[in-house]
Amino acid sequence: MNDIMNMDKAYVAGTYARFPIEIVSGQGSLLQDTAGKSYIDLGSGIAVNSFGIGDEIWKDAVIEQMNRVQHTSNLYYTEPCAKLAKMLCERTGMSKVFFGNSGAEANECAFKVARKYAADHKGPDCYTIVTLKNSFHGRTLTALSATGQDHYHELFQPLTPGFKHIEPENLDELYALGDGKDIAAILIECVQGEGGVVALSDAYVKAVAAYCAEHDVLLMVDEVQTGNGRSGQLYAYMNYGVKPDVVSTAKGLGGGLPIGACLMSEKVQNVLGYGDHGTT
Ligand SMILES: Cc1ncc(COP(=O)(O)O)c(C=O)c1O
């Protein structure tokens, strides 16, 4: 243990079991520790460093913006915000974007869109969001409630109500949701990342999409792990030929800067109005 590791252990919350390696620099796919030893960053910072370490175009763009203004509140317009929203909409066919700071926060926005859309269109008793067993949707209490893995839930009861977890690939469980009158949305990862890198079958994703379309249930896709080019397409759902109502993305979208985004289709683009959601 060196001084930095001891300092980290003393002052950083003990939520991470870190390897005994202190990273000091990197370039491309390589990271270096204090002794100059190189490591291949196969984890890409858990799907964050999509451009690699120190990508020149990314770095120049970030530094150029830092030299202008690093942050304004959402009370004002800025060029990067408008341009990124336009680019995301043009490349996905979605209509509106809400920007936040992380994947969990992108999903929180998706949950709010689903709840409000369902309340507006199907009544106040329609709020259940269905997710898949073995899924992972983040660490905020509501994203944790959406996550279909019991061991994440145990220490944090009671969870946010209104989530139901069904077995992936099981059409009986999907159709047992019935006519969808109390189901607001189904949220899936096309490839379950934290759950073991398990791709959903084409037939299952299409069946979920068809069920959602038939019953006015929102199809929501969590692309936090799979998105931004990591699946061969810009977003993994594009490999399945389906059109989601809501897409959440983060991680590689910022390539190391904290950014998340909730993309909303034409159908739900105006669900959130002034004051319904926000972040600094
Ligand atoms: C599929 C998925 N959704 C959401 C999250 C949460 O993202 P964040 O850690 O940026 O809150 C993750 C993080 O690993 C994830 O893999």
Which CATH number goes with the domain that contains 235? 3.40.640.10
- Mean pLDDT over each residue of the chain, to the nearest integer: 97
The pLDDT score that the predictor gives to residue 1 is 87
Q: Are residues 110 and 23 in the same domain?
A: no
The H-or-E segment that residue 131 falls in is strand 128-132
Residue 71 lies in a domain: no
Q: Are residues 152 and 190 in the same domain?
A: yes
Report pLDDT digits (tens) over 162-219.
999 999 999 999 999 999 999 999 999 999 999 999 999 999 999 999 999 999 999 9
Which whole number is the average pLDDT over 267-272? 98
Ligand 1 surroundings by CB, under 6 angstroms: 46, 102-104, 107, 136-138, 189, 193-194, 222, 224-225, 250-251
Residue 67 has pLDDT above 90, yes or no: yes
Residue 275 lies in a domain: no
Residue 73 lies in a domain: no
Closest CA to 188 of 263, 244, 231: 244
Which whole number is the average pLDDT over 71-79? 95
Q: Are residues 163 and 101 in the same domain?
A: yes
251: CA distance to ligand 1 center in Å? 8
State what percent of residues in the chain have pLDDT above 90. Answer: 99
Which CATH number goes with the domain that contains 14? 3.90.1150.10
Residue nearest to atom 5 of ligand 1 (CA): 138
Tokens of 12: 């950083």
The pLDDT score that the predictor gives to residue 116 is 98
Residue 278 lies in a domain: no
Q: Are residues 151 and 201 in the same domain?
A: yes
Q: Are residues 13 and 139 in the same domain?
A: no
For 22, how many CA atoms within 13 A lie in the half-sphere containing its CB? Answer: 12
Q: Are residues 179 and 248 in the same domain?
A: yes
Q: Are residues 137 and 49 in the same domain?
A: no
Which whole number is the average pLDDT over 110-129? 98
35: CA distance to ligand 1 center in Å? 32
Q: Are residues 28 and 148 in the same domain?
A: no
Distances, alpha carbon 190 to alpha carbons 8, 136, 193, 214, 224, in Å = 36, 12, 9, 20, 11
Q: Are residues 41 and 101 in the same domain?
A: no
Give the count of domains, the chain: 2
Residue 274 lies in a domain: no
Q: Are residues 11 and 95 in the same domain?
A: no
Residue nearest to atom 16 of ligand 1 (CA): 225
Residue 14 lies in a domain: yes
**pTM across the whole model:** 0.97
104: CA distance to ligand 1 center in Å? 6
Q: Are residues 127 and 172 in the same domain?
A: yes
Q: Are residues 143 and 15 in the same domain?
A: no
State the residue range of the domain holding 174: 79-268
Tokens of 238: 């594009």
The pLDDT score that the predictor gives to residue 136 is 98
54: CA distance to ligand 1 center in Å? 23
The pLDDT score that the predictor gives to residue 85 is 98
Report pLDDT digits (tens) over 86-96.
999 999 999 99
- Between CA 138 and CA 171 the distance in angstroms is 26
52: CA distance to ligand 1 center in Å? 19
CA of 223, closest atom in ligand 1: 1
Tokens of 232: 């061969």
Residue 211 lies in a domain: yes
Which whole number is the average pLDDT over 242-267? 97
